[in-house]
Structure 1
């Protein structure tokens, strides 16, 4: 007990998630959020240990949640003053068992009284951190057939306690990640688990009651969370580990640590009960002594490694958004996804974003070089996707040598040589023309050497099919959520261009837009503003800051402009691939005026899904026409949405990925 109390003492840290509530704070009345129509019912069973219960409740009061919730404490005949004190906590629903029901009975009693559509079972020896509840709810909104979602659990001293559980074929179990660093990327991505701890477990109320709640045959406690997970999967639902919900758990306070005394003694007995009940299902579990990194992923039949130049950031470029959405789809299709940037660098935010789509980020200092990782983990790989020719070229031979049976995909992102050829023609630059020819030879050689090549545009698909008829070329274009039109014509105003200077065609487009197109438009309609969004260097901004131009730079969320502006612009004069800025605008129902090159390969018709113009005067005329013609605006808005649904939606990409990357048959990972 002294050790545990010491661990709860304040630490010298700036991490807000680790400012734990002390156990020795004198009680003073406080209030909990409490909704009459809660979305979530938080159920905390207790049997004494009042200081821990108060610390748990104070942490809930401190961090709250975006979703409406209620807190139900179920007192199981506590021998201390818990009931008298807890009655003074405003907003708390306090239930008392007439007799001692044990952990399972108390949880089921709390569930019976709950008003929320979701139940969150929370031990009283826990403390919550920001996002504890909302991120669990995300799993039910974002994951197909989610039945249970569980938190990442950490000890009070900061070490990881559990990142989801493994159940072996003999009924034994292991808390994945126990005693390791809680911020290791291995534990920071969402994935399926055999079970999650009942210390912080969310389940839909209807599902909980449909499977019979916590099975009373495990009373008073132990193995009930494993049993619930198996029951949920038996009815076709999934059990998910959610690392973005971090909960501190002081293990052993509720039931002790001695396996031969108190409630803890039921652990062995209940495991026998569990094995008897689930003997058929256990045949599908990994056998004991299976390496833990294989056992934790045993339900996933395939593993793909993706290597790109940088860790994707959807706020930076459309290629990142496409890759993140491809990762999300691969995981939905049953693939385990690992990602490595060519420089092995990733920020904590980037690791979390990849984790949100179920991808494990391999980066410094956590992961070794690509060669070292392939030597140790390559045996698990069924496919490797190398993105961009300058990443694929130096790594292809390494992959072929160390992972000979893996299917190798070359994702062009866009054809670099085509973009460079067009840039050379646009600028009449002979040096760039020679560079484009060198890039062409490299890209074509890579295409011939890889099993499958991915392109984003039908134009590029046709070009490569003519050049290399023997190669397998597949169209996997941009992938966008169809947001729909949230705002009509009248409330909108202004024009928007999205694109940063880190992509040369965008810089050229912005300079042409501000230098030639917008001055003509502003002279006729000074009431129409132009919004520029994207990475624009400070040194370039003075020359762009002309009347009517608003430079916003890089923004975290495009929605205000997608729903507030009347017209999106794409005045690109060269480039390749499919333009994410056009897809993004259309996915929000925002009509677009573009050049022919910006609309290339997107199955767009002038006057139906888009307006096209390739000179400054024509561009201005198209913008003014669309800005003032409500009927035309609505036609383009509707047809643009239809275009995204048909060609650039998750459904379209899912069908392509399912065809080109079918799940391989189950295999033995013990030999290459």
Structure 2
């Protein structure tokens, strides 16, 4: 009886005029294809000890980077085991090798790598990262989707605002380090994120420096990383983001890319916290605390990123459900019977206002 009444309601209710509503958010009805880079890209990895992380990082680049690129390795005063490995790796894979006998700090090392290349796009990649399939192609597709984009960066387990699913540690006082579930490798996680992504490329005020693709033209306009104010590599990327936004450039997250970040072992945790505190003071002095706080608030309250984080909470359950379903129903036939109702357009007044 209830079902019959339901059908009668839809069949007899008069249909008011439809209202067209323009939602205040960029959407894509169809995903554009991933674009292999049509130009060579400089990939710069700055290295200071932490040999195990360096091995994982460089091996992942070789394994998962199929497009045209130039690998530039900047060894910033590493001890002999790491020094020897980097030199051997550069020789085997024809990478450019820059060696600083004395550690100059991350920012100086990164600028040395940028100056050593001349390709139109630069990737600054921390040596404690692990990249996955199509990582470079997807970053390139993102940055080329809008010529106003100066920097794009991926999602990660540990990358401040770009972390998923959590951004803050549950114990408080630090960023979250979201461990991978047992049995899930970094490249498997990257593949799941790519398949699940809507590729909406959220705009942010700051892009974490652990992995950035930068349009070299934007660096010609605003200059390289600030070695004087941020020599050790904490705060230099936020300073660059501030300068680029002030010059009219935009920054975005490539939400179909996920890069594993192991957190730096080049510094102790105490040293990291001290460097972060000093960087915050320098940023406030250069750009004004109100601008820094406004940028952080935009990152924290970004509705697109909130949605991405919420969706990734259950990403593994969804993939396991799909996988088990394919196994369970493999080779079986099933039929679906559906009586289509007569749909009636409802006026927008029946729905709450959309706040996006």
Q: TM-score, normalised by structure 2?
A: 0.64
Structure 1 position 245, deviation (Å): 2.2
The higher-RCO structure (CA 8 Å, 6+ apart) is 2
Q: Go from structure 1 to structure 2 and tell me whether the alpha carbon gap of 1:392 and 1:196 turns closer, same or farther (over 3 Å shift).
A: farther
* Map of 1:61 onto structure 2: 62
Structure 1 position 161, deviation (Å): 6.4
Tell me whether 1:106 sits opposite 2:106 in the alignment.
Answer: no
Q: Which of 1 and 2 has greater Rg? A: 1
Q: Go from structure 1 to structure 2 and tell me whether the alpha carbon gap of 1:165 and 1:105 turns closer, same or farther (over 3 Å shift).
A: farther
Contact 1:191 1:240 in 2 (8 A): yes
* Map of 2:88 onto structure 1: 88
Tell me whether 1:120 sits opposite 2:127 in the alignment.
Answer: no
Distance 1:125 1:279 in 2: 31
Deviations 1:615-659 (A, max 9, x none): xxxxxxxxxxxxxxxxxxxxxxxxxxxxxxxxxxxxxxxxxxxxx
* Map of 1:400 onto structure 2: 349
Q: Go from structure 1 to structure 2 and tell me whether the alpha carbon gap of 1:276 and 1:165 turns closer, same or farther (over 3 Å shift).
A: farther
Q: How does 1:224-373 map to 2 (within 5 A)?
A: 224-258=236-270, 262-279=271-288, 282=291, 285=294, 292=300, 295-297=301-303
The alignment of Structure 1 onto Structure 2 pairs a total of residues equal to 271
Q: TM-score, normalised by structure 1?
A: 0.36
Tell me whether 1:205 sits opposite 2:241 in the alignment.
Answer: no
Contact 2:198 2:256 in 1 (8 A): no
Distance 1:284 1:195 in 2: 11
Distance 1:291 1:108 in 2: 26
Structure 1 position 243, deviation (Å): 1.9
Contact 1:147 1:203 in 2 (8 A): yes
Distance 1:390 1:277 in 2: 62
Deviations 1:479-526 (A, max 9, x none): xxxxxxxxxxxxxxxxxxxxxxxxxxxxxxxxxxxxxxxxxxxxxxxx
Distance 1:283 1:63 in 2: 36
Q: Go from structure 1 to structure 2 and tell me whether the alpha carbon gap of 1:164 and 1:142 turns closer, same or farther (over 3 Å shift).
A: farther
Secondary structure in structure 2 of the residue aligned to 1:142: coil
Distance 2:296 2:231 in 1: 27
Distance 1:363 1:110 in 2: 34
Structure 1 position 84, deviation (Å): 1.6
* Map of 1:627 onto structure 2: none
Distance 1:142 1:196 in 2: 17
Distance 1:251 1:392 in 2: 54
RMSD: 4.1
* Map of 1:617 onto structure 2: none
Distance 1:363 1:98 in 2: 43
Q: Go from structure 1 to structure 2 and tell me whether the alpha carbon gap of 1:392 and 1:99 turns closer, same or farther (over 3 Å shift).
A: farther
Distance 1:162 1:337 in 2: 10
Q: Go from structure 1 to structure 2 and tell me whether the alpha carbon gap of 1:237 and 1:365 turns closer, same or farther (over 3 Å shift).
A: same
Secondary structure in structure 2 of the residue aligned to 1:75: strand
From 136, 141, 160, the counterpart of 1:138: 141
Structure 1 position 38, deviation (Å): 6.5
Distance 2:134 2:115 in 1: 26
Secondary structure in structure 1 of the residue aligned to 2:80: coil
Q: Go from structure 1 to structure 2 and tell me whether the alpha carbon gap of 1:78 and 1:263 turns closer, same or farther (over 3 Å shift).
A: farther
Q: Go from structure 1 to structure 2 and tell me whether the alpha carbon gap of 1:252 and 1:188 turns closer, same or farther (over 3 Å shift).
A: farther
Distance 2:82 2:177 in 1: 31
Structure 1 position 141, deviation (Å): 1.8
Distance 2:262 2:77 in 1: 21
Distance 1:72 1:338 in 2: 35
* Map of 1:639 onto structure 2: none
Runs ≥4 residues deviating over 4 A:
163-166, 180-188, 336-339, 360-366, 389-392
- Structure 1: segments with no counterpart, 5+ residues: 1-36, 167-172, 298-335, 340-354, 367-388, 407-668
Q: How does 1:373-412 map to 2 (within 5 A)?
A: 393=345, 396=346, 400-401=349-350, 403=352, 405=353
Distance 2:49 2:153 in 1: 25
Distance 1:363 1:49 in 2: 30
Distance 1:247 1:150 in 2: 9
Q: Go from structure 1 to structure 2 and tell me whether the alpha carbon gap of 1:229 and 1:337 turns closer, same or farther (over 3 Å shift).
A: closer
* Map of 1:152 onto structure 2: 155
Distance 2:233 2:146 in 1: 30
* Map of 1:79 onto structure 2: 79
Deviations 1:300-347 (A, max 9, x none): xxxxxxxxxxxxxxxxxxxxxxxxxxxxxxxxxxxx7999xxxxxxxx
Q: Go from structure 1 to structure 2 and tell me whether the alpha carbon gap of 1:257 and 1:392 turns closer, same or farther (over 3 Å shift).
A: farther
Q: Go from structure 1 to structure 2 and tell me whether the alpha carbon gap of 1:82 and 1:190 turns closer, same or farther (over 3 Å shift).
A: same
* Map of 2:225 onto structure 1: 214
